[in-house]
Each structure stands twice: as structure tokens, then as C-alpha cells.
Amino acid sequence: MAKVSVGLRGWRFEESEIFSDDGEFKPLDEIPEDPRKRLVRLISLVEEPCDACYLVHGDEEIQQCRQARIVYGEPGEEALLCDQHEADFMYWFREAGGKDLVGDNVFADAFHEWFADGGRAPDGYAGLEYVDTDPDDLPSPPDANEIQRRLEAEFEGERINLRDYDPDPDQRGTPLGEDDLDDVDLGADYPTK
């Protein structure tokens, strides 16, 4: 199956993991955890400004910022970029140590600091080439409020009474009797963080 970007380029999804056979987004509980986390995060990122533009213009001139088109990094620690600033990010990533920070919780901050200190790609430095498809051909992602409602409804924890199960692996799932708990100290204090 093909890999696709949704909403913003950069994060790529396995088509079969997020789309049903009829081309619609699968229900969230059918999408594996990592792609689901990225899709949910994308909902809040698709209309954000480019981080580099924002560093140049700030709040006072926010209207000068271009909308982000690309996302790199991990959810919650991502760098958002417009087409014009992607080359700066790629240069930082490839040539100025960014690759060493992949998966680190300072990934985006390190890029922001490098850029704010005047870091830029040399003239003519190329970003990545993408194969763009017509965005109208992709199904619309679910509404952010609908996603939040479904997450709260579908991923509630289930209360399990451990007294109902025997710790003996050969007897898993067998209800315990009161006598089986005689040696268990349920009132013990355990270390906490």
C-alpha cells in the first residue's frame, strides 16, 4: 500500500491503516495508536502559521506569516513550516545537527533556536520533492470536537477486579475464593513518584 500525507506534508501514513476500503477515514478505534495520535494532532495544526515565519514576524505582524504546509517531528514536539522555510529546516536537519535530535523532546525547540539565531539554508539549497494529489480527492478529516468526544467515549478505562482472577498462569481467568487471598497484603504502601 502507498504512504500518504494528510492535511500537511511530512507525516506519512500507511493508507490501509487510516482509510477504509471505500476511501473514507476509518473510525478512530480501528486506527493503530501512532497514526491515530498523529491524525488527532493534525486537526489542531492544519491552520497554524509557519514556525519560522512566526519567529520572524511575531504576534504583532502575525498576518505576515504564511500558513504551515509541512510538519516534521513527533506529535507535541513538531516544527511547522511553509514551503519557503522548508529548505531552512532541511538544512538544519541534514547539515546542522538536527538529525541527532530525532525523537528528542527538544527537537522543535532546537530548530527554533537555530533559526532565531540567524540559521538559514544557503541560497539554492533544496528541500524535498513531493507528489501532490488533489486535496479534494481526499475525504474530509473528522471534526476536532467529534474526535475529542469519540476519544472520551471509546477509550474509557475498564474497571477490573483483580480478586476475580487467580495469579497462577495455568488457572488464569478462574475466580478466586476468599481463602486464596489470605497471603496477599492489599494494604501495603507502595513507592510513588
State pLDDT tens for residues 93-151. 999 999 999 888 899 999 999 999 999 999 888 755 544 555 555 555 555 566 566 65
For residue 131, the model assigns a pLDDT of 46
Residue 134, SS3 per DSSP: coil
In terms of C-beta distances under 8 Å and separation of at least 24 residues, what long-range contacts does 115-122 make, across chains too? 115/51, 115/52, 115/55, 115/85, 115/88, 116/55, 119/88, 119/91, 119/92, 120/88, 120/91, 121/87, 121/88, 121/90, 121/91, 121/92, 122/91
Question: What does the pLDDT look like over 142-186, one tens digit per residue?
Answer: 555 665 666 566 555 556 665 665 555 555 555 555 555 566 555
Question: What does the pLDDT look like over 60-81, one tens digit per residue?
Answer: 888 889 999 999 999 989 999 9
Rounded Cα distance, 11 and 80, in Å: 11
10 DSSP assignment: S
Domain boundaries, the chain: 3-124+140-154
pTM (two decimals): 0.64
